[in-house]
A and B are shown apart, each in its own frame.
Chain A
């Protein structure tokens, strides 16, 4: 029987019982407000009767355990096997004699005589990678991945690359009004999606079209959204590249930066309450990590123990702001520890590394009900969007180097070819077919008509209220009067 030991002077004397399930951390003392923490895991059911727990063993043994643990890792405190009830007052007196620790709110803290500040900078956290630049497996790590999955990953990466190139051109030709590419981040998009299941909710920023591609959003769907025609899920209400699909559990992109991180935490809370075998994932960039919403979301996720994967695409640039002007921390990965969130840094251009990391993160999130922060280092090889020309603020040779030498698609292809899962003929066939498909999708989407006038007013609420019906009527009258000024390709 594991005993729950903490009785802090900050909480009234209560009697606790600890259910025999190993999800409850074995707290040695008040590392956290135990009265509330112990109940969090049972919180879906009403409060249980709290039983008195017997103690056997005096405070001395306890003190010894505490002190010996303190000499080693403080983490061990939480996982000490034997806990005994102790008399806090006696412990406090005895520890006052030694005066090495104090049980502050939040946990036992060791005192130090040294006036020393923690350094603001440390050596950069190393970055996990599986494939080297030439697509060879590093070290002896055997890479376990299903061939079909690997091939689908590659095909989708090529599809994404082709789609980006052609849609970008379409914008330049004036056929669509706006577009956002994911050049250089194909591995992040596809590999992370491949490591999740369709039940995991995705809360994207705007550079994650590949995730939706993996899940089954067709080229035609992408084109329809960009052209804003009647077949668009969003009914033409959002900018191009602001995709969303309930069927694929991909939440509609909002232009606001960082707000989606909070939504993901809330949705994870919802999944946790329902006890589902699913997590949420949210993507954001280095710029997004500066927002207030990101900070709050990370903090909340940790406190609420929400099963969310927070995926940072650190691609070096937030429009024209380089990361050196964005933050002074070692990227975003170090913030995890500050908030009590497990984190990892991966090579974002290495599809297999991203795949592995997300796969493990998903397990942690669901099984341990904890948030995980993943920082994928990469480079935004394209412009921020079609409204940007990044050569104005960064050297073209840098862009070219990253785009060619660190191309994640090429690297993955080399690995596939090395395993004889792919060859140059398959490559040219795929490129040819994909290009044709994308062009066809654009041609079809262009011809489909736009949503009608009624769609201005529907979906603001579940049912249009009287003031909106009134406004719709006014608009219709105005259009009737001035038919010649009304665009001909918009249905009335």
Chain B
């Protein structure tokens, strides 16, 4: 993080959740996993992230439940501290400073207040040792652990390489090349110990699992081999009772072996990416697997996937960063053959769109179809994707797919597949963006030297199939390779870059209007100005940033900088240029019409920035400072060379975020919906009122504090509120001045009396002969049975009335 005045560069979501094995709590309600510099607490039923335990300043390398108190959790980090958390409330209880980076750590029931950590040897940083740490017993928040004792040296820093057997009676450790337990002739990858038996299971790189027994006696150990996996076993785990052994590997199949009946096994195939970790909940009811595609799958007793927690996949980003105009989600390629839609506001993966629609074969070294390009049209109703597969050097399989947004299912539906749209790789793709025009146009440029325009054509003859995309125009320019293309904001011009030459075409007539060129250096990025700057066309070369005026067809200005990425803000005239200079990247935000940049930021990050995007904000910021005004309408996200997603925030925004997060953390763990805010608060108030009413009965000073709930009600958007009829009474009640229960009861009684009186008035006319004692008696009975409801009372009166008239008649006679 680099500070720069008011605006800061911050990491933004999407951290790894599959780095270390997750932990399921004793009640199976929560799942805890290390995620970057924090520990995330997920609900196993709703997949929702409930807390983020923040405090570490380095990468969190492990999470463990505290053996003595299962409502607390330890976490270790590369910053050399162990922290103890209360995960239900998300509170840091204790910090224990070790002083060395902790690569992984273990605890066992037998050893109270002892934590075993893996740290690098002081002598050689590349070798690691297992160290027992005695946690000091003190009430302080911050303690320093002094008692350290080395247990085992030369261990593997991978947490899967060490296991504690039988509640900590022995330690099994495997190493990369040699074997701590001798006799292996294949590289060990992971180890697990049976919880009850003297049995150790080891996974190997050749896909075999070996079960070792009788190792207490030297040189008399025996082992048996289980073989199903065809490549490396990456994780092993025994169920808590020791009845089953779970194993997983790159095949993405969870294999369940029966202990002692190893010929019987169950499979759960196609879980996603390669399995990296397997854990079992302490009661054995839930399994959970981490996958290489940043995903955690929660499985109910090896038969059913009950929940999937998916993080942002940032393995090999080949598409540009894009914004889905509809959902305002960040779109990039994720799992193999998928596009992922990632909500930046909620830091949550919305969904994956399967582009390739082929069975994924989990085998290393196999060439798979990859999504390499994608583009949205301005309204988000069309999506174009390119997938390719390099089989051999000469052969290239290429598919261009066009997806239409389906309003009913709220997702993209495949409309047209164009196989082999070009002879060579597609270098760029863009949609025409006119708002008024009916036809949508897609232009793709390829390394085969051509660019093609595709158009949505109505079905020529048949009516049973909808419109599909057809090639409308093909062109080339001097056999040069087109590198990128861009439409002007109104869609009246198309600019295609052929190495050093920018050609400008008219999409309506497909005429070459003009060519612009400014040697030396091939133009690598191109974009039109917007709004008031729409007469400018900007291009970047390896050494220059160029700006042409399209009215005069001449170069307006140029500056020498190595711009790697040029992005235009869709909502304003602003442009952001990332330029690479001496090992780090600088950012300049400017308007094409103004000579001075609006904002510049040196050394945003180290390495190159090749992908960036402006994301429109949900609500505009009202910053008046000149340097941060460009962030008012949209936010700039970029991807560093290390595949970190970063963004810029202003101080005001950060303060607001902090405030809201505090508010959230103070409340209960379940999700803070506006509905909850409204009703929950109201209930609290009601309780308070009752309390206050009973205590301050005489004074009656406690006016109902309506402002909070009213504010909630008025500020929440209408579509998330419950129905008005439901809220109305509550709202009205909250407006009323609080009165005591007794008083209201009295009023109620009075009201009832009044209505009764009315009825009785009418009755009296008929029952002129009714005697007073009877009335008194009736009143007495009524007062005797106050529990009677109104309806019952009325019924009673009617019966009484009947009786009386009849009686009266008798008396008269």
Do A and B pair up? The answer is no
- A residues touching B (Cβ–Cβ < 8 Å)? none
- B residues touching A (Cβ–Cβ < 8 Å)? none
